[in-house]
Structure 1
Amino acid sequence: MSTETPPSRADTVIIGAGAVGCSVAYHLSELGAADVTVVDQGPLPVTGGSSVHAPGIMFQTSPSKIQTKAAHYTSRLLSEAGVYDEVGGIELARSEDRMDFLRRRKEWATSYGLPEPQLLDPEEVTDHLPMVDEDEILGGYYSPTDGRVDGIGALQWYMEESAADFVGNTEVEDIEVEDGAVQAVVTDRGRIECDRCVMATNNWGYQTGQLAGLDLPIAPVEHQYVVTEPLDELADEESSVGDNTTGLDVPGDRSIAEYMSEGPTQPVGRDQDHSLYFRNHGDALGMGSYNHETLSVDPEAMGKNTDEHQASVRGFTKEHWEKPTHRGRDKSAKQAFDELLPATQDVEYEATENGIFVFTPDGMPAVGPTAAVDGLWSGLAIWWTHSGGYGKILAEWMENGVPRLPSGPVDTGGIHVRRFEPHAGEKEYFVDRGAKRYEQVYSIVEPRWQPDDHRGLRRSPFYSQQEDLGAEFYQSGGWETPQYYESNADLVDRYEDQIPEQDGWQAINRSPIEAAEHLHTREKVSMFDMTTFSSIVVEGEGSGEFLQSVCSNDIDIDIGQVRYSLLLNEGGGILADVTVVRLDDEEYLVTTGGGSSPGIHGGWLEEHAPETVGVHVEEGARSTIGLWGPNARLLLQRCTDADVTNSGFPYFRAKQIYVGEVPVVALRVSYVGELGWELWAPTEYGQRLWETLWEAGQDLGVRPMGGGALSSMRLEKGYRLWGTDIDTDANPFEAGLPFAVDMDTDFVGKEALQAAREDGIDNRITPLTLDDSTDIMLSGRPVTKDGETLGYVQAGDYGYTLGESIAYTYVPSEYAEAGTTVQVHCEGETYDATVRDEPLFDPGREKIIR
C-alpha cells in the first residue's frame, strides 16, 4: 500500500523500493510480519533505480545452486503474478569452447532442478530465433522457463499484494545506531524509529552502508543497452510502446522505462562469446552489451534522481558500442550483433542507455544480518533474476532464523554479507574487483582461476620460506596460500605410477605435484600452512555453559580435551563445524576453517554470547602448521620436551607445549587421516616454528604440502568441508555427522533435529567411486540412476592412495546403500559409479591412532 507520509515508527524499515526491497516486504507480509515500511528516494513505482531501467531478462542457469534456485523461484512467483513472460531463453555458441560451456550449463540445470534443459543444433536455434544467422553459430542451450519480467508491473504487484506501507520521494539521510544496534532511519521527511532495517538500495548500497558506519564492497558499473526502431522482421509482433507508463511519474528519460515495460514474444537470447544479449520489444529489438571496458562508477557519486535525470542511467557512450574495448573480445558490440543478427545493420536506435548495476568482489550477492550492527540486514548486489528468491530467503531468515525457499533450507556461505575480508571495504579494492567480475560476466572462467590484482595482501609468517620453495600461491580470503610447491617436483617421478594423467577441462590449473605431495605425506611427513584457519577464544564466567548452548555435541570436557562439534541454526542447518579445546576452567579455543569463517562463524558466536562471556575472533593472531604423516611423531619429539607418545598425548587431546623456544597450543588432530598435530602459535613466533620443524625433519623426509594435496586427502578420508559438503542446507544426520550431535544436551537447532529424525532422513551424503575411469569429477554435475536425477557432485577428486576417482553427493536414502550403481555426468560424458561405505581410507583409524 502506498502512503504519502512516512510513519514515526515501524517494526521494520526497508530502504529501497526496487525489486529486492519490494520482494522482502512482500515475503515478510506472507510470513505475518506486521508494521513494515518501505521508503525510496524516487517516485513509486518507477523509483529510478536499476529495477526500472533493466530489460528484465531472466536466464536462470548458473554454476551456483543458490543462484539457480533463487532464479527459478523468482520466475515461478512472478509468472503466477502475471508479470513474467515465459518465452524461454537460448544461449548461443559461436565457438567450440562455448559449446562445451553450454554442455556444462545443461548439467548444472539438471543438477539443480530446472525443467527440461536442452541443447539445440543451429537449425533448432533459428526455429526459435529466426533473426539469428544460422551460419554464425554452432548451437545453443535452451531453458524453456527462462524469460523476462515486467519490472514496473512486478513492482506494482508487490506493492498491491504486500501489507507493508510504501513511501516514495523520501530520501534516507542517516541510520541511527546506538550500542551496536539500529535505533531509527532518519529521512528528509522525518525520523522513523525501528527495531530492524533492511538495506535494499543496490546502486546506492555503499552509501547506505556508510550511514551506519559500514564499508560494504558494493561497486556500481555501467553497461549498455539499445532498442532499435521497428524492424520489418518483427512487423507481425504487437507493440504497445507509448502506453506502458501512462499516468506514472517517471524520473529522467521516459523512453527507457517505456521500452523496458514492453514484453518479448520470442525467446530471449545471449551471445556470450561476445558478451551480448538481446530480446524483442514488440516490433523492435533490444540489445545489451557487456562488450566494452569496465565503466566503474564512484560508489560515493551515484547522485540523486530528478525530473530530468535518472541517477542510475548515464549517457550512452557510442565509442563503447562501436569499438572493441573489452580486453577479452576482438569485436565491438555493433560488429558482433551485425554478424549475428543481420537485420540490425544500419538501423536507428529509438532508445539508448548506459545503465548502472552493482558487483561485489566475488560477483555474488551480499545478503543477511550485518556483523557490526544488530538489526541491520543487507539485501544488496541482487538482480531481477534472483530478487524474488532472495526476498523470500531474507524474509525467512529475519522471521524464523532459517534462510530457506519452499524447496527447503539454502546454503548461505557464498552469499552472506559477513563473508568479506577486513580489507574488502577499501574502495579501490572492491571497485577493481567489481570491475573484474563485470568483465567476467560472460567469460568462460577456468577452474581454480586466480586474480592477478591486489595480491599479497595477507601473508603468513611462512611466506618467505614458501616463496623459496617455489609455492604456487592461490588467494583465499585475501591470504596467499600455497596450492603446491615446485620444490616437490622431484616427487612426481617417484610416484608416477600412481598419478593418472588428467586432460581437458578437469586438468586446467592442476599439477601432478599436488598428487605427489598427497602420496609423500602418506609415507613420510609434511608441513601444511594452516594460518588461514580461524581461532576463536571463548572465555569468562559461564563460557562452558554458553558453548554447550550453541554446540551440538557435549562440550562438558576436561582441560586438555578436544571435541568436534557443529554450530546449527534454528532449523538444524549446519552453520559451521568446529573443534573445541578446553584450555582452562573458563577458557576455550574454538577452531574453524578459513575464508569466510571469521566473519560468519565468529560473528555468530559473538552475537549469541552473554555479557559475562568474551568471544575473541583471532583472525591472523595465530600462525598454524599442520604436521602430518607417519613420521610426524618422530619429528615433533625432536623439537619438544613434552611427551608426545600415543599414551602421553592421545588422539583428540591438546597440550600447551614448547616447540623449540616457541610456545604452542598443540592439538592432536588431523584433517588428512594421518598421524599428526595442529600446532597453533602466536603469529610473531611463526617463522621460528617453521624453521625449527624444517631443520629437525630433513632426514625424516619432511616436505611442504599445499592445498591441492589437502583436498584429495581429506576426500579419501571423508572429512567434511564447510561450504562444500556441509552448509545450512543440510542437517547433521543428512551430512553423516550423527557422532557430532548429543541429543541429551540442549543447543540451538535441537528441536528441528528431533523433528527431522522423527520424520525420517530422506537424503544422505555418500561417497561414489568411478567404476572404470580415473577422470576427476567436478562439482555441480548430476548424479542419476535410470534417467532420474538423484543429486549432484558436492566435491570430487582423485584418491591417489586408493587409486580411484571419488565424488561425494547427497542422494535419497534408499540409494545410499553401498553397492548401488549410479551414473555421473561431467563434461558431456557419462560415467558409471558405485556408492561406497565411508570412510574409504583407513576405516579402522589405524594410521591416526598409533
Structure 2
Amino acid sequence: MAGPRVVIIGAGVVGAALADELSCRGWTEITVVDQGPLPATGGSSSHAPGLVFQANPSKTMTELARYTVEKLGALDVDGQPCFLQVGGLELATTPERLTELARRQGWLTSWGVEGRLVGPDECVALHPLVNRERVLGGLLVPTDGLAVAVLAVEAQIRAARARGVRVLDRHEVLDIRTRADEAAGSDRVTAVVTDRGDIPADVVVCCAGIWGPKVARMVGMSLPLTPLAHQLAWTGPVPALAGQAEEAVRPILRHQDADLYYRDRFDRLGIGSYGHHPMPVSADDIAPVDSAEQMPSVLRFTADDFADAWGETRSLLPATRDTKVEEGINGLFSFTTDGMPLLGESPEVKGFWVAEAVWVTHSAGVGRAMAEWLVDGHCSSFDLHECEVNRFEPHQLAPAYVHARSCRNFVEVYDILHPLQPPGAPRPLRTSPFHVRERELGAFFLEASGWERPQWYAANEPLLDRWDIPTPNDWAARMWSPLVGAEALATRESVALYDMTALKRLEVEGPGAAAFLQRLTTSDVDKSVGSVTYTLMLDEDGTLRSDITVARLARHRFQIGANGSPDLDWFLRHLPEDGSVAVRDITAGTCCIGLWGPRAREVLQPLADADFSDAGLRYFRARRAHIGVVPVTAMRLSYVGELGWELYTSADLGLKLWDTLWEAARPHGGIAAGRGAFNSLRLEKGYRAFGTDMTYEHDPYEAGVGFAVKREKGDFIGRAALERRAAGVRRRLTCLTIDDPGAVVMGKEPVYDGDRPVGYVTSAGYGYTVGKGIAYAWLPAELAAPGRALDIGYFDRRVPAVVAQEPLFDPAMRRLRGSHPSGDAR
C-alpha cells in the first residue's frame, strides 16, 4: 500500500526516523521537506552533542531511549557508526546525589535496562580524568552512549529514499493549506506551501523542533514549546588524552550536582552546562538558514555565563587545567512546560500532527511510535499518555505560562525532585470556591492541573493527640505530615469534607448521547435516569484509554467524571457527524465536595429536601436536591471506601455549600481532609488511579477492572481485540503489603523475586486503617498469588513485601453501602 500523501516538515533526527519507520510499514507517498541542506539542516540535530542517557522516571521515556539505542546502534553510513556505545556514568559528589543515584538505578531496573551503582574507585577506573577526591560514587549504564545525530539523519533518510520517499531540502515552509470538512466539523490539511511550490498532503507531521510553534500557528494551533539556549563548549587538546585515535573511549559523563555533562572528542572534551540562567528565544526570532552566523540553532557563545561551569570542570577533571576552552556555542533546544514531548494530532485540524520537543535521546523511539499511531490508529510499542499534545488545560497554553514553566524546567533539568514536589511559579492559578476556607484551616497545597489542592490541614493538629501516627522514612516524609494519617482515621471514624473540584467534569448532551456513550464505553450506560456507572474507554487494540464515571442526569444529558484533557479530546474526536451529541467541559463552572464517613448521612439528611436513606438513594445512583439553599447534584459514590456522596454545584454557590456542610458536620466530629488521606484510603480499597496504576499499555483484565466490561451489551470500541486478550493474562496489577511502618515506598521502584527483578511499583503509601504499607505493582501473573513473599528495591535497600488479597479494607462493602456505620470492617 502506498498510504496517504504524507508531508513531514523537518529533516532532523525525528523527521528522518519517522520517514524511515513509516516507509518500513508500507507508506511511501511521503515527502520530507526542510529549509536547510541535508544532512545537517541547521536545527538542534545538527549541533546536538548526542549524549544518550536512558535513566528516566518515566517508563515511556526510558523505553523510547532504549529503542533509539538499539536502532542507531545497528546503523552506519559508509562504515561510520551512528552510535558509539561507550556507556554512561552519572557521578555523585554529594551524599544527596549518591542517594538519588540509587533511586535512578531503581528506575532502570523497573524499566528493564541494565544499570549498577559503582564506588569512587571504579568511577575513576572507568573515567581516569575524574578527581577521586571529589567523587562518592556513580551509576553506570553500559548501553548508554553517543548518538552521531547527523549520521543518524543520513542513514535513516537513505533508507527512506530507497523505499521511494522524496526528500526536499532547501524548501522553506511558508504555510499549510486547509479546507473545511463539513462532515467532521473541522478543517483538514490539503497542502504544504513552500517557497518552491505547494506539496499536496493528506497528513502533515510537524517535526520542526525549535520552529515547531511557528509551524503549528499556520493551522491555528498553540504549541507549548520554548526554544532555550544551552551552553556547549569544547576544550583544546587535553594532554592526558594525547594520542586518542577513536572519537570516544570513555563513558559519557554526568555531573548533575553542578548541572554539567561531558563527552570525548578524540583528544578534547565537550562540556555541556545547564547551570546558567535560562536563555529563551522566540521561534519567530531564530535566524534564517542563509543569514545565520553558523546555523540557525546556534547562537554566539557567552563566555561569562560559562565561567562557573569551567571552574567546576577544572576541579572535577583536573586534567583540563592543562588546556582551555577553545570554542563554544549557545545551542537551541526545545523545552516544554512539563519536560515531556508533544505528540499527536491537532484537535481542530484533521491530518495535522506534531512530533515535537523530542531530543536525540528519544528520536528513533518517537519515530516508531508516531509511525504506529499513524498507520494503525494507535501505538502498540509505547505508552504515550504522558506525551499527548492534547494533555494540557487551556491556561497551560498561555504564552506567559509556557515561558515560565519551560524556563523552570531548564533550571530543574538535573535537580533532585520529589515525586510530589509541586511546580513553581506561576501559582496560584486555579482555586476552588472553598479555597478561602481551606486557607483559614491551614491547608498545605499541592497542585493538580493548575488547581490548588489541599494535601492536609494544620487545623487538624488536635487529632494527633488521639492517634500515634507512624513516621515514614526520610524521602517518604517529605511533602508529608502525620496529619495525613490522622485525617484518614478521622474519616473512617466520623465524617470529612474533601475538595474534589480538581477532577475533570464533562457534560454529554443530545438525542444521540446514550448511543454515543454506549459506543465509547465498556459498560451499559443506557440505563434509567439517576444511574451512575463506572466504566472504561478502550482503544481499538483493547487497551485502556481511561476509566470514567457516567451519570445519567436526564434522558439526553450525562455528566462524566473524567481523568483529564485527553479524555475530552477522545470524546470530541468520536462525536457523530450528524450533530446529535454535544460535549463540553464544565469543570471551571462547577465544584465538588466529597462528604464521606460513617456519619455522613447524619450530617446531610437534616439539610436536604430529599431522601438520602439507603432506599432513597442507593449506591451508584444520582439525584438532584437542595442542601440548605444550595441546589446540588448528589452522586452516591465514594473513592475512600466510606458511606457518602459527591456533591456538585455551580461555582458561585460552592462556598455556601461548604459552609452549610461544615456547620452541620462539626457537632459530629467532622473535619476537612486532604489528598494525602484520600490516597491512603483509596489504596486500602484497591481503587486504581488512571495514569499511575494503569495506562494505555494495559488492558482491563490484567489491570483488575475487567468487571467493568459488559460484553453482552453490544459493540464498543476495542471489543473485538478485547475478546482475544481475555484468555491470556500474563501480568497483573497486584496489591503488596509492607509490615515495617517506616518502609513506605513512593512508586516506580523495582520488585524482586529473590535476586530477579520481576516488576515495578505504581502507586504506594501507608494504610493507616490496616496498619501496613501498601504498594500496587505490575507483576507476572504467576507471582500474583496472595501470600507470595517478594522484595521492593527502595533506594539502596530491599523492603520485604507480601502479595495480599484485595481489597484490604471492607471487602464485603458494608461501609460503602451504609450498613456498617461504625466499628472495624477490616
TM-score w.r.t. the length of structure 1 is 0.92
Structure-2 separation of matches of 1:133 and 1:234: 15
Partner residue of 2:660 out of 692, 699, 723: 692
- Quick check: 1:743 aligned with 2:707? no
AA at the equivalent of 2:690: W
The answer on 1:404 being equivalent to 2:380 is yes
One-letter code aligned to 2:718: G
Secondary structure of the equivalent of 2:110? helix
- Please tell me whether the aligned partners of residues 10 and 192 of structure 1 are also in contact (alpha carbons under 8 angstroms): no
Distance 1:400 1:633 in 2: 50
What is the aligned partner in structure 1 of residue 79 from structure 2?
Answer: none
Take 1:33 and 1:526, find their aligned partners in 2: how far apart are those partners?
Answer: 57
More displaced 10-residue stretch of structure 1: 417-426 or 142-151:
417-426
Whether 1:365 aligns to 2:353 is no
Give the whole-Å Cα distance in 2 for the aligned partners of 1:18 and 1:365. Answer: 15
Whole-angstrom distance in 2 between the partners of 1:751 and 1:304: 51
Equivalents in 1 of 2:144, 2:50: separation in Å? 11
Q: For residue 471 of structure 1, what is the aligned residue in structure 2?
A: 443
CA distance in 2 between counterparts of 1:292 and 1:830 reads 38
Could you say which residue in structure 2 is the equivalent of 1:842?
810
> Are 2:299 and 1:314 aligned?
yes
> How far apart are residue 836 of structure 1 and its match?
0.7
SS at match of 2:702: coil
**Aligned residue for 2:457?**
485
Tell me by how many angstroms 1:10 deviates: 6.5
State the AA in 2 paired with 1:481: R
- 1-structure distance, mates of 2:540, 2:606: 47
Residue of structure 1 equivalent to 2:54: 60
State the secondary structure of the residue aligned to 2:726: helix
CA displacement at 1:383 relative to structure 2? 0.6
Identify the residue that residue 49 of structure 1 maps to in structure 2: 43
State whether structure 2 residue 201 is matched by structure 1 residue 200: no
**Could you tell me how far 1:696 is from its partner in structure 2?**
1.9
Q: Is 1:789 aligned with 2:774?
A: no
Counterpart residue number, 2:629? 661
Q: Which of 293, 296, 300 is the equivalent residue of 2:277?
A: 293
Answer yes or no: is the 8 Å Cα contact 2:740–2:773 preserved in 1: no
Partner-residue secondary structure (3-state), 1:352:
strand
1:257 corresponds in structure 2 to none
In 1: Cα distance, 2:604 partner to 2:52 partner: 57
Q: Which residue of 2 aligns with 1:172?
A: 173
**Tell me, what secondary structure is at the counterpart of 1:601?**
helix
User: Which amino acid letter does the alignment assign opposite residue 158 of structure 2?
Assistant: E
Q: Which residue of the partner structure matches residue 250 of structure 2? A: 266
Provide structure 2 residue ranges, at least 5 long, that are not aligned to the other structure. Answer: 77-81, 181-185, 819-826
**Mapped partners of 1:30, 1:654: distance in 2:** 52
Shift of 1:773: 4.5
1:757 is aligned to 726
How big is each residue's C-alpha offset from its partner over 1:734-771, in whole Å with a ceiling of 9 and x where there is no partner? 1001111011221111122111123x100011100014
Distance 2:461 2:286 in 1: 51
Whole-Å separation in 2 of the counterparts to 1:656 and 1:412: 38
Identity among equivalent positions (%) equals 40
Alpha-carbon distance, 1:370 to partner? 2.6
Residue-by-residue CA offset, 1:674-728 (whole Å, 9 max, x unaligned): 0010111122221111121112222112211111111111111010111111110
Q: 2:475, 2:561 → 1: CA distance?
A: 35
1:153-302 → structure 2 map (5 Å cutoff): 153-162=151-160, 163=163, 164-179=165-180, 180-183=186-189, 184-238=191-245, 263-302=247-286
Q: How many angstroms apart in 2 are the aligned matches of 1:64 and 1:452?
A: 20
Q: CA offset at residue 346 of structure 1?
A: 5.0
Alignment of 1:407-556 (within 5 A): 410-496=382-468, 499-556=469-526
Q: Which moved further from structure 2: 336-345 or 771-780?
A: 771-780
Return the match for 1:650 from 612, 618, 638. Answer: 618
Stretch of structure 1 that moved more, 644-653 or 438-447? 438-447
Kept in 2: contact 1:10–1:193 (CA 8 A): no
Within the candidate set 792, 798, 802, 1:824 is matched to 792
Q: 2:554 aligns with which of 584, 601, 607?
A: 584
Q: Does 1:334 align with 2:310?
A: yes
1:5 aligned residue: none
Deviation at 1:668, TM superposition (A): 0.4
Contact 1:182 1:194 in 2 (8 A): no
Q: Does the residue aligned with 2:475 lie in a helix, a strand or coil?
A: helix
How many residues align structurally? 798
- Measured in 2, the distance between the counterparts of 1:230 and 1:315 equals 22
Question: Structure 1: any 5+ residue segments left out of the alignment?
Answer: 1-8, 240-262, 323-331
- For 2:7, the equivalent position in structure 1 comes to 13
Distance 1:638 1:61 in 2: 56
Matched AA of 2:774: I
Q: Secondary structure at the match of 2:700?
A: coil
Other structure's SS at 1:507 match: coil
Q: Show the counterpart of 1:395.
A: 371
Report how far residue 452 of structure 1 moved: 3.4
CA distance in 2, matches of 1:560, 1:673: 21
Contact map agreement 1:402 1:570 (CA 8 A) in 2: yes
Tell me the distance in 2 between the aligned counterparts of 1:492 and 1:312: 57
Of 704-713 and 157-166, more deviation after overlay is shown by 157-166
In 2: Cα distance, 1:636 partner to 1:375 partner? 51
CA distance, structure 1, for counterparts of residue 718 and residue 355 of structure 2:
25
Which range moved further: 712-721 or 177-186? Answer: 177-186
Q: 1:24, 1:684 → 2: CA distance?
A: 49
Distance 2:5 2:300 in 1: 40
CA distance in 2, matches of 1:193, 1:612: 33
Q: How much does 1:374 deviate?
A: 2.1
1:569-718 to structure 2, matched below 5 A, reads 569-593=539-563, 597=564, 599-610=565-576, 611-718=579-686
Cα distance in 2 between the residues matched to 1:348 and 1:106: 34
Residue of structure 2 equivalent to 1:329: none
Tell whether 2:136 aligns with 1:138: yes
CA distance in 2 between counterparts of 1:77 and 1:316 reads 33
Residue in 1 that maps onto 2:145: 147
Q: Which amino acid aligns with 1:538?
A: V
1:592-636 residue CA offsets vs partner (Å, 9 max, x unmatched):
23xxx1x20011111101031111222312111111111111111
In the TM superposition, what is the alpha-carbon distance from 1:316 to its structure 2 partner? 0.4
CA-CA distance at 1:230 after TM superposition = 2.2
Question: What displacement does 1:194 show?
Answer: 1.8
Q: Is the 8 A contact 2:175 2:192 kept in 1?
A: yes
Matched residue, 1:814: 782
Distance (whole Å) between structure 1 residues aligned to residue 175 and residue 86 of structure 2: 43
Q: Which residue of 2 aligns with 1:251?
A: none
* Distance change >3 Å, CA 480–CA 289, structure 1 → 2: same
TM-score for the superposition, normalised by structure 2: 0.95
Classify 1:10/1:821 alpha carbon distance in 2 versus 1 (closer, same or farther; 3 Å). closer
Tell me the CA shift for residue 832 of structure 1.
1.1
CA distance in 1, matches of 2:681, 2:30: 50
Report the secondary structure of 2:701's partner residue. coil
Residue 402 of structure 1: how far off its partner (Å) = 2.1
On the 8 A contact 1:650/1:668 being kept in 2, the answer is yes
Deviation at 1:466, TM superposition (A): 1.1
